[in-house]
Amino acid sequence: MNFIQLKKIVTKQDLLVLSCFVVFFSANISKAQNTFPDITKSKDGKLELTIDAKGNQIPDFSYAGYRVSSVAIADDVAIKVFVPHVDGDATKTIQSAIDYVAKLKADKNGFKGTVLLDKGIFKVSGEINISESGIVIRGSGSSNGGTTLLGTSINRKAIVNIRGINNQIFKETFQLETNYTPLGATILTVKNGTNLKKGDHIVINTPITKNWIDLLSMNDFGGESGWIGWKADDFVIRADREITNVQGNKITIDAPLTNALDEELSKSTVVSYVWSGRINNSGVENLTLKSDYDTTNPKDEQHRWTGISIENAEDIWVRQVNFEQFAGGAVSILKTAKRITVEDCLALNPISEIASFRRNTFYTEGQQTLFQRCYSEFGYNDFVVGGYATAGPNVFLQCESHQSYSFSGSVGSWATGILFDVSLIDGNAISFKNKEQDGRGLGWNVANSVIWETSASKIENYSPPTANNWAFGVWAQWAGNGHWKDVNNHISPRSLFYALLEQRLGKLPMDAQIMDLGSEPSSSPTIEQATALTAEAYKLNETLKEFISKSSTRNPIAIDYAKAKRIEEAKLDAVTNTNTDKITITNGLLTTSKGVITGEVVDVPWWRGSLRESEIAKSRPHITRFVPGHYGVGYTDNLEETVNYLVENNKSAIDHNYGLWYEQRMADHERIRRIDADVWAPFYEQPFDRSGQGIAWDHLSKYDLTKYNAWYWKRLKTFAELAGQKNKILLNEAYFQHNILEAGAHWASSPWRPANNINTTGLPEPPPYAGDKRIFLAEQFYDVKNPDIRKLHVAFIEKNLENFKDNANVLQLTSAEYTGPLSFMQFWIDVIANYEKTNQNESKIALSATKDVQDAILNDEARAKTVDVIDIRYWYYKEDGTLYAPEGGKNLAPRQHARKIKTGKETDDQVYRAVREYREKYPEKAVLYSTMGAPRFGWPALMGGASLANVPKIELSAFHSALAGMKFAEGTTFSDTLWRLENKGKAYLFYLKNDQDVSIDLSNHKGTFEVCTINASNGTITKKANISGGKQVVIPQDEIKEKVLFVVKKN
């Protein structure tokens, strides 16, 4: 049956309603209609997208989908490889089959071939990646007895990634000739566009400016919400298009604009680009993707989050794929993808917390994406557009959610060109509205979008200033000032998308497969009709879920592999540490075989974060930050990239502590119980796992302090392994004292707070907020006489040790901001010492505390033996030589101490003094200098004997190795004008505090020595010269001209 025939059948069955609809439309074809764009019918029954006075029209949504839906998805991609069932981990086997096909030559249609998977369950601990064009992964059926890819391990990444390379290169920028290009336009007039030609790819950039934000009233959302209000250039609408025709300075693009280009609001530009790494003509089909999970926790999140992720790709499909037990969603289309079709998919039994950023079942940030015949149950945001200022068209056609926990529509800001067509959202809303501060200031989530012949428990259809939204033939509880037509009526055509597609192409290239409405809807049937309808009521109507499950019958997919190559099982390679060069303490210095480790120590963000582009651009690396489905700095960091960042930027280590809180709503510093589970990303994962029981202050389930967050600890472990291969260090702060002092909000959602865990801690609840604002819980938290919390502390400290027991590049510290009492530090040391009696521990124990606590431990011979590293962080010598040294255990945070005690000023001399004193007193222990001002004092710290000193990269092969053997020159002090380290007869390092001659006694050391002057600011070697030994050598100041002088004996 073709779509025209289907329409005729529907018309006969729905004649009364449709005749009313035609009269309604006919009555509205008038001048008055031009006040806003609309959809009407011509006399011959064709749809007309009417325009307003500015030429705006509702966009033609039919340009969504694989190859803009102008052709059917290919059924004849040749099967090149067959993968028989694998009993063990099948990751490498399947990937090797894909890699084999990737090397084949593409056919005339751009396809290299299909990888066919056998029936049965394939366990996948890693990721399956399609990274070349023209490759299809096909199972042997998506129903029982077919093919299942079972995601195992605590890996939160997608099981299947269709991902090209993000190497987009922007070329020329063109201005628009006209001041206004209307909504729905496909022709643009550009200035000086003679270099543009048919087939060029362009991006039409439209920043959302301050003027626009003012018109939308998005500056704030009431109260003190200006910090999450929209800011200029937070969002840029980027319409990704291809030029299909050029006539003079007019270019025709391959899909309509979903936002008008109005220079009174924003100055748009057209930018051409090339993108060699973007892949196409690939797909996944005819199988089931399923995640393993902890069956004892109904809200478990230590498993796979996503079934299929698509990025850096175009003209891709996913069809006849079932998804089960994922935490994050079934299909995630990211912003670098376009022209994607997802069809005939079931998403069942999601396993996760019931909260935002989970259960985003069918999700797109891409453009021209089509989801059709997709079913979701118990999702959160089931059918949504995400991101910021995402351009369309994006279509949800004949999609259904069952008992949704939250709305469908857009979970981003200003998504344009969305169509809900013949769809049903059961139990929740389709929401086009101003979300205000929800989602960290989403504000207006949707503009220029349509709901057509669709039902929902509620439809929120509001039109924002400068744009419109429409609802035609909808069934729901209604709200909104958007445009409404024919509510509580079925309308014709049933599918707006397919009607527009048929009108555009003249004939549909595929069967629309719209489910039949069924029987006579009249409220006044004849007796005969009533009798027939009564008999029919005994028959169960076919559901969309059932209809989708039969898709393999309607659209069979070939699985004949007789001519295909058979791939043998491939075993995963054992993970090995390629660097056997362990970090050790030599001569009181942290060293590798290459010498002393230098470079700045960088900390991680404590709590801040935003997913807006302007904020992402300013993000710093993190290890345990998590943004579902998104990777890179500011999102879920790629740990290899994080290590490379350290290497490329001369950083020696990352100082890591768990986040002050899990989610970004807490950035408002309120102590309130949150009203719902609409948590804001990025998330700072906590070291403990959620229990799946109860409701914590953030509305997710409570933590279990005896059960650890496997993903959190695995991330830290993986980073330590990767960093160790590059001789980089992890400072692991076990605790974060910031939770138990200062603002009460620091404690409100902490896992340690009794309201947020299922354990017995002995801590007070409700919290004893001082003045209903501040928290002073340090004394109780550190009180190990409390048997309940003592037991939890012991287990937690041992977990920190166990996680890094074979990582010599990890330094274990008590807590970020530790100004706690001596008693807890003694307890911490004792737990470690007891652990090390029966367990291997390659990690190093660093003593980081106030000076009184630090000295007490170091003067305690038994406990001092456990300490490997002394970290000077919470005290220092001031310029006048006196101490800034707050006492430990006074229940004040470092900055609270600083408000009460004169902090004075750190200087070169006093930094050198502090480090050297501890180096000389405890020569077997390494010393770090980590005060707030430490980055400014790299050279004084190094000359004083510190490890991880923030000195610039020195491009001398002998420099760091020579440092490892140096000692302080005899008779020198911190007040000298020349600091000197030496390994007599081998190497010397001088730091000149003022211009002066440098004298070196080489009387007893013959041979040739190389003299290098070093720029202290950037590490540049400004001069090299040779001198001869066997005598006293004086190097004049006019030949040095730098603060640093390095002398080394040549081989």
* Residue 986 phi, psi dihedral angles, 5° rounding: -120, -50
For 575, residues 6+ apart whose C-beta sits below 8 A from its C-beta are: none
Hunting for tokens 């740990």 — which residue is that? 639
- Paired with 688 in beta bridges are 708
Asked if residues 906 and 876 have their Cβ atoms less than 8 Å apart, the reply is yes
Which residues of the chain are in CATH 2.40.30 domains?
169-274
Q: Tell me, what amino acid is at 725?
A: Q
Low-confidence ranges of the chain (pLDDT < 70): 1-34, 519-521, 572-579
Please, which residues have CB within 8 angstroms of residue 1036's CB and are 6 or more apart in sequence?
997
How far is C-alpha 626 from the chain's CA centre?
6
Residue 459 bridge partners (DSSP): 430, 478
> Do residues 846 and 812 lie in contact, with contact meaning Cβ atoms separated by under 8 Å?
yes
Say what the pLDDT of residue 24 is.
37
The number of angstroms, rounded, from the C-alpha of 943 to the middle of its chain's C-alpha atoms is 41
What value does the CA radius of gyration of the chain take, rounded to a whole number of Å? 33
Estimate to the nearest angstrom the gap between the alpha carbon of 928 and the chain centroid. 33
Q: Is 173 exposed, middle or buried (0-12, 13-18, 19+ CB in 10 A)?
A: exposed
- Residue 579: what pLDDT? 66
- Note whether 602 and 608 are within 8 A (CB): no
Residue by residue, DSSP assigns 726-774 as TT-EEEEEEEEGGGGEEETHHHHT-TTSGGGBSS-----SS---BTTTE
**pLDDT in the model for residue 517:** 75
CATH class of the structural domain 966-1049: mainly beta
**3-state SS of 795-822?**
HHHHHHHHHCCCCCCEEEEEEECCCCCH
Query: Given this model, what pLDDT does residue 578 score?
Result: 62
Q: How far is CA 164 from CA 278, 279, 280, 311, in A?
A: 5, 5, 9, 7
The residue whose two tokens read 């004649």 is 15
- Considering the domain 169-274 in this protein, what is its CATH number? 2.40.30
CA distance 193 to 186: 16
**Where do you find CATH 2.60.120 in the chain?**
966-1049
Residues of CATH 3.20.20 domain(s) within the chain? 584-943
How do 147-151 and 279-291 pair as beta strands? parallel
Q: For residue 70, which of 426, 509, 422, 396 has the smallest C-alpha distance?
A: 509
Using alpha carbons, select from 415, 477, 424 the residue that is nearest to residue 451: 424
C-beta separation of 998 from 1034 below 8 A:
yes
Could you tell me where the beta strands, DSSP code E, fall in 605-650?
625-626
Q: What is the pLDDT of residue 535?
A: 82
Q: In the prediction, which pLDDT does 873 show?
A: 99
Single-letter amino acid, residue 187: I
Tell me the whole-structure pTM to 2 decimals.
0.94
Which 8-state DSSP code applies to residue 72? P
Count of residues making up the chain: 1051
Class of 584-943 in CATH: alpha beta
Return the sign of the alpha-carbon dihedral for residues 160, 166, 172, 177.
positive
Q: Taking Cα atoms as reference points, which of 265, 267, 273 lies closest to residue 240?
A: 273
